[in-house]
Amino acid sequence: MSGKLILIRHGESEWNALGKWTGWTDVSITEEGAKLSRELGGRLKDFSVDVAYNSELKRTKETLDAVLDGLGQSDVERRESGAINERDYGVFTGKLKEQVKEEIGDEAYLLLRRGWDRPIQDGESLKDVYTRVLPFYEQEIVPMLNEGKNVMIVGHGNSLRAMVKYIDGISDDDISSFEFGHNQALVYEVDESGHQSSKITVGL
């Protein structure tokens, strides 16, 4: 039987609170983000964690600290991977989302945020993120799940969207309507190839 895969998006960051595109900018989570992440950890107490991952960006490290504190499992083995870093927003990094929306219009803004293969100058599309996330998932995570280990991954909205696209078999078109929110966890069991066999959502 598959181990459990627990996917969590980082808590509210300082730039989330300001409505800015963060991308690879290394900002911290807010006090509220830390508080809610601890509460989410408390909701996950039915699950023991064997290995926990965060990205190279400190907002995921801080979120994982808080979740594991709430879970009462702060001594879990921890690993870090740049494969699950957030999407690089290139020239849009640091800009206010609402300002960009006003400048380019609703349709172009939606494509920019949610489109599968929408290029960004000096940045990445979701397809680019998928290209770096998938080998990490298939080669590092799936073997552990097949061994029955429970793995927690604290990532970012787009790196988790990319992973869920593969796990749930979401099409290129339909992935635009999927959003991974703050303060929730998706808990999966998967088959030998890493596709979903069961899924539950745990949230606040």
86 is catalytic: yes
Active site residue 195: no
Give the separation between CA 1 and CA 24, rounded to whole angstroms.
36
**12, 62, 86, 124: which is the annotated catalytic residue?**
86
Tokens 């083995």 sit on residue: 77
Residue 172 to residues 26, 109, 116, 140: CA-CA distances in angstroms? 29, 18, 6, 24
Catalytic hit among 10, 62, 124, 156: 10
Cα distance between residue 2 and residue 15, in whole Å: 36
How far is the C-alpha of 16 from the C-alpha of 36, rounded, in Å?
A: 14
Quote the CA–CA distance of 42 and 36 in Å, as a whole number. 10
Residue type at 43? Answer: R
Residue pair 29/182 in contact (Cβ under 8 Å)? The answer is: no
Q: Give me the active site residues, please.
A: 10, 86
